[in-house]
Structure 1
Amino acid sequence: MTTQFSVADIELELYRYPAKQESNLQAWDAADEHLIKHLTEQQQTPCCTAIINDNFGAVTCSLTRQNNAWPLLVETDAKTSQLGTLQNLGRNQLPDDNIQWCNSRDLLPQRPELVLMKLPKNLNYLAHQLDRLSQVLAKGTTVYIGAKAKSINKALLQLLKQHLGPATASLTWKKTRVITCISDGTARPLPADTRWNVPEYQLMISNLSNVFAANKLDIGARIMLDNMPQGDFKSIVDLGCGNGILGLRAKQLFPDARLHFVDDSEMAIASARYNWQLNQLDNPDLEGEQACFHWDDCLTHLGDEVRPDLVLCNPPFHQGEAITDHIAWQMFLDALRRLADGGILHVVGNRHLAYHVKLQRIFKNCTTVASNGKFVILQAKKQVNKAKSTD
């Protein structure tokens, strides 16, 4: 794995988050390099700059390396991106007091004079981000967007024009291009969330723009909903919750349970929280908080008091555009550490991902609960700590 970032006389050591993850993926791509190269060629001087979708801080660290007083507004929907950026700032002995952190729902706290973006994979999310920018950017503000050359076409440039202002693309360098979009100064309305019913479970679901399965129940979640575990569960984690559909159904089945919804996406957590309220799932006979919502990297920062007896998990097998299974590994390992003795991890995944091999290795047991031509549902149980039980 390459960790030495070098472009335009900027030298950095960069890692994906967490630094010891089980993958050989590097923390930046050529589009990051192209953005920094382009800024250098433009002789860009420090000004209030918004950085959006900076996966692990390559752009943020580069500008801070150039001038550690460069005022930055760093917006991300992914907790791992925020944590990765902080990790790489620290590794390169760079300060972070020049940074204001922003999520993907709130308007930027001040008007930026320059915007640097990485093109997200989800174009609905891109449109949402552009609409938000249109509400704060002055007419004539430049937005530079780094992307793979193959992702740039007339339809994309038209989308940029529709939601923010006219756009052109640079020549290709290392199979990437930099789009220059100029704000036209017209504020667009923010998009409404997407709502749809799941009538067989009497649930209403609302999704924000960067949440997986934006307008329908995905087929992996559907087979999971049809094969929920049996037991007397009192503490349940919906790990990688997305819009929260699995946790909402769990609360219907186990009304005395307390739920924890966890996701790397801040928009997912906001959607899950709203869906809990929308479906009015609090049990009037149960005192105290019945649902907690955690924007987090898997179960990294949950309190020690959270010891679930059930973890529901529909793991992603990509991070941005990178196909990877390291997130599933981390989810399974975190579940093993967090589960109460005898607790269950209930997982759905594509058959070809061979999660049964990972679960058998981690938990020393794995049972197939259900399957179809594409998906399989697996269950692993945390074994009772015999040494502990005999104390």
Structure 2
Amino acid sequence: MTAPWGTYRLTRFPEDPRDRLRAWDAADEYLLRHLDGGTGEVGPVEVAGRAVTVLGDRWGALVTALAGRTGTLTQITDSYLTQRATRANLDRAGVAPDAVRLLSTQDAPPERIDVLVVRVPKSLALLEDQLCRLAPSLHAGSVVVGTGMVKDIHTSTLKLFETILGPTRTSLAERKARLIFTTPELQEEEPANPWPLTYTLGPEAGAGPAEGLTVTNHGGVFCADRLDIGTRFLLAHLPPWRGPGLIADLGCGNGVVGTALAKHSPEVDVIFTDESYQAVASAEATYRANASRRPGLAQFVVGDGLADVAPGTVDAVLNNPPFHSQQATTDATAWRMFSQSRRALRKGGELWVIGNRHLGYHLKLRRLFGNCELVASDPKFVVLRAVKDR
């Protein structure tokens, strides 16, 4: 990536030499050029000696370029993988580990923000939640600059900036990227944050074992106000677990699948794991609201899937793999999840997968496990089961 202060070699995480997806895009470069020299419409932003917070940095591109040029520098992200990539990119650039404060979206935000840089996320709910959390840290002299590709900045995006922070306008487009300029207005009362959202699943959801569960969704977690149809289809065909066992809800989201299984199979222990801090916080809240009296234990892990789980220790893995990594459509995440599952499963352990039927997950599972059973299907989804038999 080329920035006003030099050229940086950046990678995503996990690092894969075959991966042709970049760790930055034109929106990152546009914003960095603006901070240094302005856009022509708006002058440059002074960051030296100031408290700069970067929200939504995709793979650490922005903080890597800004490191050493600000007073304090903080990155806030919902992604564990982004934090791992950021550490690697900072190290590659020769930046000291303590030069950038790495926070998650669940951590307390900085008390003071002089310059807020926002990389617009895919999820409007996550943007709303984070702007509400950060607004009290802004002051009359704060500068707010957002960036994103044109296709990701909508009227609803600008309305959130305007409603929560203050008057907002955009730049001209450059290489299909656009900037957002907001002038913070101090408010007598902190903006009301609608997140997290809590609701109860009723019989109209067709949820089977999930009926009656109280569900919590923090901003940015998939399908915030209802049970998505894929999860509903999986739950309708997922049998209760007989006896004790260790079950992993991989890519747990709000934890509905693992919680439903735990409620109906009280002897199992469940690992809820996701790379999203918002998701794991949601899963823990969902589980605590429904399964506090059951004897089985639960672990809540923000991380790289099952990478840190001891091999051969898990009895079953439940997985609804995403086919997006940040904004890119890819099957690399699903392949990694399936590979991690096989490693974590004991002999005879089972991987249960729900996915869109057109994605062809059965081919990957047969290649990895040597077997794959079609448990159920409809015009949109398939439920697949693979057994580790060796």
Distance 1:212 1:21, change over 3 A: farther
**Residue 250 of structure 2 corresponds to residue 243 of structure 1:** no
**Residue 126 of structure 2 corresponds to residue 125 of structure 1:** yes
- d(CA) in 2 for partners of 1:249 and 1:379? 18
- d(CA) in 1 for partners of 2:388 and 2:139? 56
Q: 1:274-313, aligned counterparts within 5 Å?
A: 274-284=285-295, 290-302=297-309, 304=310, 307-313=313-319
| Aligned-residue CA RMSD (Å) | 1.8
Moved more, 373-382 or 151-160: 151-160
1:139 Cα deviation from its structure 2 partner: 2.0
- d(CA) in 2 for partners of 1:190 and 1:43? 29
SS of 1:25's partner is coil
Structure 2 residue identity aligned to 1:376: V
User: Which of 54, 63, 66 pairs up with 1:51?
Assistant: 54
1:222 Cα deviation from its structure 2 partner: 0.4
Structure 2 residue identity aligned to 1:78: S
**Residue 149 of structure 2 corresponds to residue 148 of structure 1:** yes
1:199 Cα deviation from its structure 2 partner: 2.8
The 8 Å contact of residues 114 and 141 in structure 2, kept in 1 or not, is answered as: no
- d(CA) in 2 for partners of 1:27 and 1:259? 33
User: Which of 25, 32, 38 pairs up with 1:36?
Assistant: 32
Structure 1 residue identity aligned to 2:30: H
**Paired-residue identity, %:** 35
1:298 Cα deviation from its structure 2 partner: 1.1
The 8 Å contact of residues 57 and 119 in structure 2, kept in 1 or not, is answered as: yes
Deviation string, structure 1 residues 78-119 (Cα, Å, up to 9, x no partner):
111111111111222222212222221343132011011110
Q: Unpaired segments of 5 or more residues in structure 1?
A: 385-391
The 8 Å contact of residues 63 and 70 in structure 1, kept in 2 or not, is answered as: no
1:281 Cα deviation from its structure 2 partner: 4.5
**Residue 217 of structure 2 corresponds to residue 216 of structure 1:** no
Deviation string, structure 1 residues 270-321 (Cα, Å, up to 9, x no partner):
111111111134424x5xxx0000001111233x278111000000111222
Q: Unpaired segments of 5 or more residues in structure 2?
A: 38-43, 204-210
Deviation string, structure 1 residues 115-153 (Cα, Å, up to 9, x no partner):
111101111221111111211111231111011124334
Per the alignment, residue 363 of structure 1 pairs with 369
The 8 Å contact of residues 140 and 185 in structure 1, kept in 2 or not, is answered as: no
The 8 Å contact of residues 143 and 183 in structure 1, kept in 2 or not, is answered as: yes
- d(CA) in 2 for partners of 1:226 and 1:237? 18
Per the alignment, residue 136 of structure 1 pairs with 137
Q: 1:1-391, aligned counterparts within 5 Å?
A: 5-20=1-16, 23-41=19-37, 42=44, 44-46=46-48, 47-64=50-67, 67=68, 70-186=71-187, 187-200=190-203, 201-229=211-239, 231-232=241-242, 234-284=245-295, 290-302=297-309, 304=310, 307-384=313-390
SS of 1:84's partner is helix
- d(CA) in 2 for partners of 1:362 and 1:70? 49
- d(CA) in 1 for partners of 2:155 and 2:247? 47
SS of 2:347's partner is coil
Runs of 4 or more, structure 1, over 4 Å off, are: none
SS of 2:97's partner is coil
1:183 Cα deviation from its structure 2 partner: 1.1
1:22 Cα deviation from its structure 2 partner: 5.8
